Chains A and B, each alone.
Chain A
Amino acid sequence: MTPVLILALLTGAVLFGVGVYGALSQTNLVMIMMGVELILAGALVNLVAFWRFLHPEVYSGQMFVLVVMTVMAVEMAVGFGVATARFRAKGSVEMEEAEDLKG
């Protein structure tokens, strides 16, 4: 087993853990989105490592990375849309004050 694969998987695991901490501990919508970004970054590291060290001849692995990057972009777009609507309606994006998503 190559140490580089293990190093990459460990990095992905720790990034995932840091992201879970951030997404659960923050009260602000934008900060929660940052936690989700770190979770997805951890998944990306694992996917690239699996493609590179286990199946470099199968390009579905790289395609999967592109799909996760799409999910990151969609999450940001929808998150900022909700944040803008929320800020316009209530003047704050603090999630502890949010009981519903109605604008």
Chain B
Amino acid sequence: MYIQAFFVAVFGLAAIGFGVVVFRTSSMVRSALALLFSQTAVGCMFLAMQSEFLGVLQIMMMATEMSIMAIFMVMFMMDPGGLGGMDMSHQKRFSLGAGGIAAATAIAVALLSDWGPVTAEAPDAAMQTRELGFEMLGRSMLIFETAAVTILTAMIAATATAIPAREPANHDHKETSR
């Protein structure tokens, strides 16, 4: 239990630390890498909490997602290297207050709630994966299928949004050329 608490605390601190670095560095590439490390630390927390399948899934998914995000950052940002020292933030005091209140409220709920009895033992990794498979293809199949269709719809919608609009056909030009 103490070893588990130690690793959850270390990876939790790493996730928070890298999460703060995301908004403190001027370099957008560093920002994307900090988010990658933060999400990887979250995945390692899952592993420390004996949720092996979700931990590995989180790390693999976020590694891909954040690499793509880094490419988009370099493509779209005016100062991706952060050498110009541009400030790309606004309403800092309000944001800090809102973030602080949100965190404080969630911390208060975590500390003051009675969470009931805690289960010390978790199923082993093979059993978890097996049972999750049965859950996905059994009771939660509709949710699973809905999630799959939602991702497919989002991919098609994102591609349709991103491709440039077609120029309207110039019929006059065709008629004159005949």
Interface residues of A (CB under 8 A from B): 1-22, 24-31, 33-35, 37-38, 41-42, 44-45, 48-49, 51-57, 59-60, 62-63, 65-67, 69-70, 72-74, 76-78, 80-85, 87-88, 92-94, 96, 103
Contact = CB atoms under 8 A, between A and B. Distances in A.
Chain B interface residue number, banded:
35 or more
A89 to B, nearest CB: 9
A49 B140 CA distance: 20
Contact of B110 (A10, A21, A52, A69): A10
Nearest to B113: A9
22 contacts: A1-B118, A3-B5, A10-B12, A12-B110, A13-B110, A17-B106, A18-B19, A25-B95, A27-B88, A31-B31, A31-B88, A34-B22, A34-B32, A35-B23, A48-B46, A54-B115, A66-B136, A69-B58, A74-B154, A80-B158, A87-B75, A96-B90
Contact of B140 (A5, A15, A33, A63): A63
Contacts of B159: 81
Contacts of A27: 88-90
B96 interface: yes
A34 to B, nearest CB: 5
Nearest to A80: B72
Interface of B: 1, 4-5, 8-9, 12-13, 15-16, 19-20, 22-23, 28, 31-32, 35, 38-39, 42, 45-46, 49-51, 53-54, 57-58, 61, 65, 68-69, 72-73, 75-78, 88-92, 94-96, 98-100, 102-104, 106-107, 109-111, 115-116, 118-123, 128, 131-132, 134-136, 139-140, 143-144, 147, 150-151, 154-155, 157-162, 164-165
Contacts of B90: 25, 27, 96
Contact of B88 (A10, A20, A28, A38): A28
Given A4-B1, A27-B88, A70-B150, A34 B35 contact: yes
Nearest to B9: A7
Given A52-B50, A70-B151, A25 B23 contact: yes
Contacts, number: 250
Given A2-B118, A4-B49, A77-B155, A60 B161 contact: no
B102 A20 contact: yes
B101 to A, nearest CB: 8
Main SS of the interface on chain B? Answer: helix
Nearest to A49: B49
Main SS of the interface on chain A? Answer: helix
